[in-house]
Structure 1
């Protein structure tokens, strides 16, 4: 049974009625069965949240996920989400009630700050278990209610479990009057991709064809980067004459014109998509299917992540390359995945370059014995570091869902 709201919270709800409700069309229908609502406070956390959801859904078949962003976030600029991603309504009690009436979440996870008192306290009063991850002492109180006491305490106290990433934050939360038993130190969610396996016979055959040759992969290369990447490859071949490059282009329509350009440059190439044989003299292997990157990352000890050497694209996600054992090189323009690249750079799993000359030098450097292997190991450790914590969090979520006791067929 839900507790009656305090006078302070009741007054806050009355005062925040004045906020205009969010504009927009009708909401998509709620999926049948169990549904968890997962809120990401900013777009930089979405990739890690998305990976966690993959693992959770694998552990609990039939579970649906609704992801939300702050009311003022432009979700069109957020990274891809496999789950439905929508904005939360503004901090208006009527909008909060309508959101919860429609989605009826069986459990809520809130990642980060920007806590919104109306929707959080309403969900708790309905008996929805709420878990706060990567907690920050950051409550998004409507302007009219900033003078009211205890709103932050009521908001935090609506969560059954509060995970903080530092002892300082834990102290701040406890000072609000939150029971210490609710607050626990817990590392932030880490990117932890679920990778598709690759047919072993094809992997063995491809490795056999390229055996004894140094190999590097240039992935997601844009047309504006072709000259730089090909110049880097020519430069690297002066030091490594048998070097082979797998050139994966971002735009499939560029393969034909690019092949003609390679022939004009006197570079011997094979088009993987056309079934060309890779020979001992092949210098460039052309590819364009994103699915095949699962093979090429496994084959190549070094991957240059394209769409990053020239302005305009913002880089591609490097995590699959890292998880599959490839050292990563990237250009300066990686803002679409800045947090992940910063983490890889910090642990020594990636190297940044600014020019074609630097790229050619870096390819030669990393293909020296043990260089790429050491970087790949650092990257693999970073990617897998958070796996035990994810498993623990999945157990917590499963336990809350198991004890809900809801008859979904009648909900």
Structure 2
């Protein structure tokens, strides 16, 4: 018998689905998503299912979660050449970035709303043989209805916030009911494995995995844009600050002002996490008294700061420098993925707030591939030290590449475990 909170949610979602649909459709329309694709939220598929091949469905919510599984899909696809893949996510941004990096035999759809009608239509059309959910995507009906369809199920990169854990602890029967659907749960660390078992997951099905966000494939490089940027820079020294958040750009710009005293032709490539903040960041650069050019205006790198306020081009900018500061870390945001930087062969500088990637940064720091900074002055000092010590910088970059290569075998192990547990076959 399903627990009362689950039954109450089924009833409520049936009533609320028209309102949720209107809200989601409007949100996607503002992002220029065609109405036909927005209807995927109601379970109306725009893609085709080849009934002659098995299908593995991956569901992720956000940009980071979606991109984190692309490398895993690629690995599983290499082992299962006759299998097709579906990845669902909730946002227009994630759909756009997935489209640019889509693995072979894979297609994207917007995830159906967690309500009876949308899920019935979605599952009837796609009939997944296996379903792999990412991080904390524990929508009750999506899980139970997928389980009822007969699909084998896994939760990878499992991570629950403190607030989520507290909510599930207040509904122990419902927590067990949700977690029991999974044939395998791979957590980001040992502590999370213990937490999920304490919530009622069968211990034999729970194991520590890896942080998939630290396993991403190398970012794509636009070689034409790279050549244009290299020509524009004319061998100027370059450092990069990427994925910065509000309140961090000021520290980065202060560090750059100090560095300019020693290297007047130094260029900073500044890539805010959210390109929509481009004008705000441009104003900060002007207020700091520095000249800049702006990618969203079609500019090539010029001036003291190049504002890279576009999506999907970080791989190109990382190819221009071997010193990268990663934002989201000078403030308690949790940090961003250093593995993408390591893949590019650059060394990483980061603030100390890296709870989202604690294990990854620990391994990189141990190898000498990453260094922590505390504030603007410390950031300037660390960048200056790297520019001044060519041999030390080359060793740090080599350590970053070594770290990236070490992770590849771990990802292959996870792919093999999923294939076995979910009873997929070549």
With normalisation by structure 2, the TM-score equals 0.59
Indicate how the Cα distance of structure 1 residues 284 and 222 shifts in structure 2: closer, same or farther if over 3 A, else same. farther
Greater per-residue helix proportion: 2
Indicate how the Cα distance of structure 1 residues 324 and 125 shifts in structure 2: closer, same or farther if over 3 A, else same. same
Identify the residue that residue 36 of structure 2 maps to in structure 1. Answer: none
Secondary structure (helix, strand or coil) at the match of 2:384 reads: helix
- Map Cα deviations across residues 174-208 of structure 1 (whole Å, 9 max, x no partner): 9x89696x676644534222321453995699399
Number of equivalenced pairs: 366
Q: Which runs of 5+ in 2 are unaligned?
A: 22-40, 99-107
Q: Give yes or no for the alignment of 1:196 onto 2:220.
A: yes
Identify the residue that residue 128 of structure 2 maps to in structure 1. Answer: 105
What is the aligned counterpart of 1:21 among 12, 32, 46? 12
Indicate how the Cα distance of structure 1 residues 177 and 13 shifts in structure 2: closer, same or farther if over 3 A, else same. closer
Question: 1:219 touches 1:304 (CA, 8 Å); kept in 2?
Answer: yes
C-alpha separation in 1, matches of 2:68 and 2:242: 22
Q: Which runs of 5+ in 1 are unaligned?
A: 1-10, 69-74, 405-411
Q: Give yes or no for the alignment of 1:129 onto 2:170.
A: no
Indicate how the Cα distance of structure 1 residues 397 and 198 shifts in structure 2: closer, same or farther if over 3 A, else same. same
Q: Measure how far apart 1:326 and its partner are.
A: 2.2
C-alpha separation in 2, matches of 1:66 and 1:214: 41
Identify the residue that residue 72 of structure 1 maps to in structure 2. Answer: none
Q: Give yes or no for the alignment of 1:215 onto 2:206.
A: no
C-alpha separation in 1, matches of 2:192 and 2:351: 36
Identify the residue that residue 381 of structure 2 maps to in structure 1. Answer: 361
C-alpha separation in 1, matches of 2:279 and 2:227: 26
C-alpha separation in 2, matches of 1:160 and 1:305: 36
C-alpha separation in 2, matches of 1:364 and 1:118: 54
Residue correspondence of structure 1 range 6-405 to structure 2 within 5 A: 11-12=1-2, 16-19=6-9, 20-22=11-13, 23=16, 24-25=20-21, 27-30=42-45, 31-33=47-49, 35-39=55-59, 48-49=68-69, 51-53=71-73, 62-67=84-89, 82=98, 83-84=108-109, 86=111, 89=114, 100-101=123-124, 104-111=127-134, 120=143, 122-133=145-156, 146=173, 152=176, 158-161=181-184, 163=186, 166=190, 186-194=209-217, 195-199=219-223, 206=230, 214-219=237-242, 228-238=251-261, 240-241=262-263, 244-248=266-270, 250=272, 274=299, 284=304, 286-288=306-308, 290=310, 293-305=314-326, 319-330=339-350, 339-340=356-357, 343-344=360-361, 347-348=364-365, 349-355=370-376, 357-369=377-389, 370-395=391-416
Which structure's CA Rg is the greater one? 1
C-alpha separation in 2, matches of 1:49 and 1:201: 27
Question: 2:255 touches 2:379 (CA, 8 Å); kept in 1?
Answer: yes
Indicate how the Cα distance of structure 1 residues 88 and 54 shifts in structure 2: closer, same or farther if over 3 A, else same. farther
Q: Measure how far apart 1:347 and its partner are.
A: 3.3
